[in-house]
Amino acid sequence: MWNDLKTRAAALGDRRIEDLFQDPDRAAAFSVRFGDMLFDYSKTQLDDAIRRALLGLAENAGVTAQRDAMFTGEKVNETEGRAVLHTALRNLSGEPVFVDGHDVMPAVLETLSRMEALAQDIRDSEITDVVNIGIGGSDLGPVMAARALAPYHDGPRCHFISNVDGADLADTLARCDPAYTLFVVASKTFTTIETMTNAASAKAWLAQHAVPDAGRFVALSSNLAKAAEFGIPSERVFGFEDWVGGRYSVWGPIGLSVMIAIGPDGFREFLRGGADMDAHFRNAPLAENMPVMLALVGMWHHQVLGHGTRAVLPYDNRLARLPAYLQQLEMESNGKGVVMGGGDLEGPSGPVVWGEPGTNGQHAFYQLIHQGTAVVPCEFLLAAQGHEPDLAHHHTLLVANCLAQSEALMRGRSLEEARAKVAGKFEGDELERQARHRVFPGNRPSTTLVYPKLDPATLGRIVALYEHRVFVEGVILGINSYDQWGVELGKELATALGPMVEGVEGSDTKDGSTRALLAFVHAH
């Protein structure tokens, strides 16, 4: 199947994407609608035959059976022997979901209502600042969602400390009043060194200001014993099970700071949006299934055509942290070279994902996207409406820029067109030289996801869309998208290096580069 796709890729020759629009129905035929969202992948080289072949990959890999296995609590995270049920966290219907014969929904819904009661208490209290301390999935989801939903933010100010660099803590606490600040310690394991170090320093900060820490800490964790050891009473601890992966955890307790910011009703809307996407993913035929088609288009670009990276470009400034969130979601999930059975993955794993909001990126790295030698498939996201009716002219410019970029990527500018641009300013060889610099190769693929407005339910749909995309890619590659062994080695070495940085222990066993770097640090 891969070979068939590779043959089709090789046979493309110099076919131009824009020529595919000779089919007047192409835009409709090569897009997926779900509710009020539209995913347009018509500005790619996909044609009917390529799409059929890609769908064949999904069928052959058993995506539908694996999908059903995931939703019904089977242990699809095989290397860790765990179910994968972040979808249960947004299953507001309460329809039973079984793990090892036990319905997990009563406990999920009970935790949700405890979170709602606490969030409301905090919103009604004198607390002015809530500081989420967490990293990775215990930071990126909440920080991304809190920023995305700023227009709905009517609770206390929210801050996020993640980095072990003391600068993160110091700069954040400088903006907070210890008398009115609450800390939310978010850590699935409650052992992550960055989070534990920051939480301890937050405790010390309260003590320095003679503020008792009773009532000033909340824990979000699967490790109830460690949270208790830190001194947080059980009624302020919100647990979740090992079937919620860190990077999939914003839907449950880890989302508490978002709930405090926008209120329990807004947070339920976010969950509802995620659940809507779940229902679509479970029921829509593969060719009309948004996560499936998003995944397949991505695999066409990366695994078949060999484009090494994927840019995520939200024309929605409040999604500024979405690319960072997706870096963990996609790269921690699918950045693996070993398949489920232990053999080597043949072919590339998931791509490098990166991006910045438009229009800022246009004034930075779009030069390379348009004229660099590497083709970067672009994923644009665009809201039809903004939240600022008084600034509608800004939104018009934003939309125009987004559409212009995908058009420019596809059409490019020929040498003749470039010559016409500079004719009159230059002549002869100089005209030719100047024109060459103004040529855009075009024929560069992009997709666009459009939605009416970035409200909580829409954000829920978008996040769940990307989660399921990662799942589909993982199944087709045959890898386990739910473990993350690749983060362990660095953590172990950092633990061993700590005393060497302090100068307590010698570094004789280290390589020459590490020794030289340590020596420089010691010297300064």
Site of interaction with ligand F6P (CB under 6 A): 135-138, 187-189, 192, 195, 246-247, 332, 484, 487
How is 149-176 classified by DSSP, letter by letter?
TGGG--SSEEEEE--SSHHHHHHHHTTS
Q: For ligand F6P, which is the closer residue by CB, 4 or 483?
A: 483
CA distance linking residue 251 with residue 309, whole number of Å:
28
Output the six-digit token pair for 58. Answer: 């999904």
How distant is the alpha carbon of residue 415 from its chain centre? 39
CA distance linking residue 9 with residue 350, whole number of Å:
19
C-alpha radius of gyration, the chain, whole number: 25
Q: For ligand F6P, which is the closer residue by CB, 188 or 307?
A: 188
Report, in Å, the least distance between residue 487 CB and ligand F6P.
4
Report, in Å, the least distance between residue 502 CB and ligand F6P.
23
Active site residue: 126, 363, 393, 492, which one? 363
CA distance linking residue 148 with residue 146, whole number of Å:
6
Report, in Å, the least distance between residue 193 CB and ligand F6P.
9
Query: Residue 61: which of 472, 518, 484 has the closest Cα?
Result: 472
Report, in Å, the least distance between residue 332 CB and ligand F6P.
6
CA distance linking residue 461 with residue 228, whole number of Å:
35
Residue 491 designated active-site = yes
Output the six-digit token pair for 161. Answer: 């400390």
CA distance linking residue 381 with residue 384, whole number of Å:
10
Q: For ligand F6P, which is the closer residue by CB, 45 or 138?
A: 138
Which residue matches tokens 């829509």? 284
Residue 510 designated active-site = no
Report, in Å, the least distance between residue 300 CB and ligand F6P.
28
Q: For ligand F6P, which is the closer residue by CB, 44 or 195?
A: 195
Q: For ligand F6P, which is the closer residue by CB, 227 or 260?
A: 227
Report, in Å, the least distance between residue 295 CB and ligand F6P.
21
What are the E-state strand segments in 345-462?
352-354, 378-383, 446-451
Q: For ligand F6P, which is the closer residue by CB, 296 or 464?
A: 464
Q: For ligand F6P, which is the closer residue by CB, 323 or 386?
A: 323
Report, in Å, the least distance between residue 77 CB and ligand F6P.
12
Helix axes 63-71, 456-477, angle to 10 degrees: 130
Active site residue: 102, 209, 394, 491, which one? 491
CA distance linking residue 147 with residue 386, whole number of Å:
14
Residue 453 designated active-site = no
Report, in Å, the least distance between residue 512 CB and ligand F6P.
28
Taking a C-beta distance cutoff of 8 angstroms, is the pair 89, 278 a contact? Answer: no
How is 21-79 classified by DSSP, letter by letter?
GGSTTHHHHTEEEETTEEEE--SSS--HHHHHHHHHHHHHHTHHHHHHHHHTT---BTT
Taking a C-beta distance cutoff of 8 angstroms, is the pair 61, 33 a contact? Answer: no
CA angle, 235 then 237 then 239, to 5°: 125
Which residue matches tokens 């045959």? 478
Q: For ligand F6P, which is the closer residue by CB, 415 or 487?
A: 487
Output the six-digit token pair for 121. Answer: 């208490």
Question: Do strands 37-40 and 98-99 pair parallel, antiparallel, or not at all (unpaired)?
Answer: unpaired
Q: For ligand F6P, which is the closer residue by CB, 137 or 263?
A: 137
Active site residue: 241, 332, 467, 473, which one? 332
- Positions annotated as catalytic residues are 332, 363, 491
